[in-house]
Amino acid sequence: GNSVTQMEGPVTLSEEAFLTINCTYTATGYPSLFWYVQYPGEGLQLLLKATKADDKGSNKGFEATYRKETTSFHLEKGSVQVSDSAVYFCALGPDAGNNRKLIWGLGTSLAVNP
Amino acid sequence: KAGVTQTPRYLIKTRGQQVTLSCSPISGHRSVSWYQQTPGQGLQFLFEYFSETQRNKGNFPGRFSGRQFSNSRSEMNVSTLELGDSALYLCASSSGGATGYEQYFGPGTRLTVT
């Protein structure tokens, strides 16, 4: 069945460092892909999405490209800030095979130090 | 538009008791999904309701149940609470249509079972 694999955390970076959080997927068809972010004490917020191959989602300086050939959707940011400290979740959208459910990665915790 | 609201935000219960959590989705959204989030298990899908009918169900015991009302508000009930039910319970709403599976989360209800 469909699945999502995220790199394990925690990831600890210094402010202004480059960030990559890896996400790979297994899916039948070409479902949409999402990155969600959860700040401490809050629910999840949609960060960005891509709906088809080669699409690039971007928001708040974060980017991710839907790569069909490598079945990946890695999250990147060129210069992280302390305020980016949060847990990041990769999610696979529904397709004909999974009854309209989102499939979630386990989350990657990011801590950014000043 | 008002966001997804969940009540109560915090709850402390004793083993064996039951609990009811409430979720009000974004106005116009007809789909409500419930998730359990724990440090060890990540984000676990409980069930989804769409137009008052359960459309999807995760792998949780029958002690976990839910319902949705005609105004799309949803409740989740857990009977005979166990210590392992301590978690953050998240509700997410979406429009639920053919492409409306982008989910918007509430802040969660933190349940502690003692």
User: Is the pLDDT assigned to residue A96 strictly greater than 70?
Assistant: no
Q: Which of A34, A27, A28 is nearest to A105 (CA)?
A: A34
Per-residue model confidence as pLDDT tens digits over B32-72: 999 999 987 788 999 999 999 998 899 999 999 999 999 99
Q: How far apart are CA A107 and CA B52, in angstroms?
A: 30
pLDDT score for B75? 98
SS (H, E, C) A24-36: EEECCCCCCEEEE
Q: Do B105 and A44 touch (CB under 8 A)?
A: yes
Q: What is the mean pLDDT of residues B19-41?
A: 92
pLDDT score for B98? 60
- pLDDT tier for residue A95 given thresholds of 50, 70 and 90: low
pLDDT score for B97? 65
Q: Does residue A56 contact residue A27 with C-beta atoms inside 8 Å?
A: no
Mutate to test the interface with A, among B21, B31, B99, B103 (most CBs of A within 10 A): B103
Per-residue model confidence as pLDDT tens digits over A19-69: 999 999 998 878 889 999 999 888 899 999 998 899 999 999 999 999 999
Q: What is the mean pLDDT of chain B?
A: 92
Q: How far apart are CA B20 and CA B10, in angstroms?
A: 12
Q: What is the mean pLDDT of residues B78-102?
A: 86
Q: How far apart are CA B57 and CA B105, in angstroms?
A: 18
- Residue B49's DSSP bridge partners are B32, B54
User: Is the pLDDT assigned to residue A98 strictly greater than 60?
Assistant: no
Q: Does residue B106 contact residue B92 with C-beta atoms inside 8 Å?
A: yes
Torsion sign (Cα): B24, A46, B90, A82: negative
Q: How far apart are CA A61 and CA A3, in angstroms?
A: 27
Q: Is B102 on the interface with A (CB under 8 A)?
A: yes
- pLDDT tier for residue B100 given thresholds of 50, 70 and 90: low
Closest residue in B to A8 (Cα–Cα): B42
Burial A36-68 (b: 16+ CB within 10 A, else e): bbbeeeebbebbbbbeeeeeebeeeebbbbbbe
pLDDT score for B6? 97
pLDDT score for B42? 81
Q: Do B102 and A46 touch (CB under 8 A)?
A: yes
Q: Is B12 on the interface with A (CB under 8 A)?
A: no
Among the partner-chain residues B43, B90, B103, the one whose CB lies closest to the CB of A107 is B43
Q: What is the mean pLDDT of residues B83-102?
A: 84
